A = this chain, B = another copy of it.
Amino acid sequence: MCVKLIGIENIPMVSPGDDIGTIIIEAAKSEGLEIMDHDIFVVAETVVSKAEGNLIELDSINVSAQAQEISEKTSKDPRIVQSIIDESVEIIKVGPNFIISETKHGFVCANAGIDESNVESGFLKPIPVDSDESASLIRKTIESATGKNVAVILSDTQGRPFREGAVGVAIGVSGINPLWNRQGERDLYDRKLETTTIAVADELASAASIVMGQANEGLPVVIVRGVEYAEKLRSTYSDIKPILRPKKFDVFR
């Protein structure tokens, strides 16, 4: 089994109003890259958010007393703190230079996923408002242009407890189930596997991140090609929710 991680070249700088699905199709065409059945497109959320015009102008932010207070604890710009509060349903941990919260989407991550890199100066970029819907729109555009069944994963780069360094994770999916439940399958000794649910969408996002890099490579879209079980995981009704552990079942919250 050989899987390829193909970084699509020629993706231009994205501006608000751009259609990411169309940009992907054109960039692939321009390098003679044919889109195939069961290709999985991992798209960096940053270009999607930009295309959707989902930018916050720093100077337009009104700072609340809560934001001012957290700003003092974290040494963060109070306007950035305010935007993190606005994007969150719960602030979970605050410390020197970090804020961990649960976003409106249900992601537990630092700074509500808002970042300042790879956006114009003076702006912040939150993650897309409805990351599954963003993925779905891209999938439908690619599918209707090519007639192929594809999947789309929106990816972000996030830190995690216990381990240093950030990794690519999935924040939106379309055309693929984010979890692969292998319970009941058999191991090499023909015994049933006990608990083996694989977060395949996160593994795909991490794999794509190897190619994307994080700085100035300009490779925000990676095709993962040749995943034999992609067909089995196909779903046109999937969303990211099954990968988000509810608070009441999370022993670290």
In the complex with contacts A199-B166, A202-B163, A206-B206, A3-B4 CB distance below 8 A: yes
Q: Within the complex, what minimum Cβ distance (angstroms) separates A91 from chain B?
A: 13
Q: Is the CB of B243 within 8 A of A189?
A: no
Interchain residue pairs with CB less than 8 A apart (10)? A2-B5, A107-B162, A162-B252, A164-B199, A165-B197, A165-B202, A167-B198, A168-B203, A182-B214, A213-B229
A211 located at the interface, meaning its Cβ lies under 8 Å from any Cβ of chain B in the complex: yes
Q: Mark A219-234, 1 if CB is under 8 A from B, else 0.
A: 1000010010100000
Q: Is the CB of A166 within 8 A of B196?
A: yes
A148 located at the interface, meaning its Cβ lies under 8 Å from any Cβ of chain B in the complex: no
Q: Is the CB of B117 within 8 A of A193?
A: yes
A194 located at the interface, meaning its Cβ lies under 8 Å from any Cβ of chain B in the complex: yes
Q: Is the CB of A167 within 8 A of B199?
A: yes
In the complex with contacts A117-B187, A186-B216, A187-B117, A163-B244 CB distance below 8 A: yes
The docked-state distance in angstroms from the alpha carbon of A93 to that of B196 is 20
A138 located at the interface, meaning its Cβ lies under 8 Å from any Cβ of chain B in the complex: no
In the complex with contacts A203-B206, A252-B161, A198-B211 CB distance below 8 A: no
Q: Is the CB of B5 within 8 A of A207?
A: yes
The docked-state distance in angstroms from the alpha carbon of A95 to that of B250 is 11
Q: Is the CB of A216 within 8 A of B187?
A: yes
A29 located at the interface, meaning its Cβ lies under 8 Å from any Cβ of chain B in the complex: no
The docked-state distance in angstroms from the alpha carbon of A214 to that of B167 is 21
Q: Within the complex, what minimum Cβ distance (angstroms) separates A182 from chain B?
A: 6
The docked-state distance in angstroms from the alpha carbon of A165 to that of B167 is 15
**Interface locus among A63-71, A118-126, A128-136, A139-147:** A118-126
- Residues on the B chain within 8 Å of A211, using CB: 1-3
User: Which residue on chain B has the smallest CB distance to residue A1?
Assistant: B7
